[in-house]
């Protein structure tokens, strides 16, 4: 068995030795400190080069993942806006707003929200004003006449 192992090792030594570089771990160790220092320096340079390539590869992967997530989000938003536009048009395909109009509408949501809140507040104020004369005190009272005379009608905001 040992003879078979020796033959295999000799075979590999001959094969790799003819190529011009030794098999790692199968060379006789050197006792020259300068040679060892040179090898250590070379291997450290290779290690730093590999680490730099690894970090660049990781950054590339992360940027591609971020790009993929962004594109997926944009496509999802585009799908939502097209489905909302289709529903708004009664299911008619091809007659919906353009992408620019959809983005413009999306950008105006704070303004639209303020308009809705203002309309609700105005409606509430009008309902309170309609309910106030029914609950008014006796008109013969001087105080009731004075407050009714000083009350100004509510201004309607411009749309």
* Residue 123 domain flag: no
* Residue 41 domain flag: yes
Contact (CB, 8 A) for 117 and 125: no
> What band does 151 get if pLDDT is binned at 50, 70 and 90?
low
Per the structure, the complete domain to which residue 62 belongs is given by 33-70
pLDDT at 85: 66
User: What is d(CA 38, CA 47) in angstroms, rounded to the nearest whole number?
Assistant: 14
User: What is d(CA 68, CA 76) in angstroms, rounded to the nearest whole number?
Assistant: 12
* Residue 104 domain flag: no
pLDDT at 102: 74
Of the listed ranges 4-18, 124-138, 144-158, the least confidently predicted one is: 144-158
Q: What is the pTM of this model?
A: 0.36
* Residue 49 domain flag: yes
Task: Tell me how many domains the chain contains.
Answer: 1
Task: Identify the burial level of 82 via C-beta atoms within 10 angstroms of its C-beta, where 0-12 means exposed, 13-18 middle and 19 or more buried.
Answer: middle
* Residue 128 domain flag: no
């Amino acid at each position: 068995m040992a003879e078979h192992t020796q033959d295999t090792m000799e075979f590999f030594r001959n094969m790799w030795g003819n190529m011009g570089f030794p098999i790692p771990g199968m060379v006789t160790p050197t006792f020259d400190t300068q040679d060892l220092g040179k090898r250590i320096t070379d291997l450290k340079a290779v290690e730093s080069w590999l680490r730099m390539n690894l970090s660049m590869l990781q950054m590339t992967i992360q940027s591609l993942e971020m790009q993929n997530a962004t594109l997926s989000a944009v496509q999802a938003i585009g799908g939502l806006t097209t489905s909302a536009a289709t529903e708004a048009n009664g299911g008619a395909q091809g007659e919906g707003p353009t992408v620019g109009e959809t983005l413009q509408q999306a950008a105006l949501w704070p303004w639209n929200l303020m308009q809705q809140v203002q309309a609700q507040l105005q409606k509430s104020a009008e309902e309170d004003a309609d309910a106030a004369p029914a609950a008014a005190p006796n008109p013969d009272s001087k105080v009731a006449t004075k407050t009714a005379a000083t009350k100004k009608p509510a201004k309607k905001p411009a749309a």
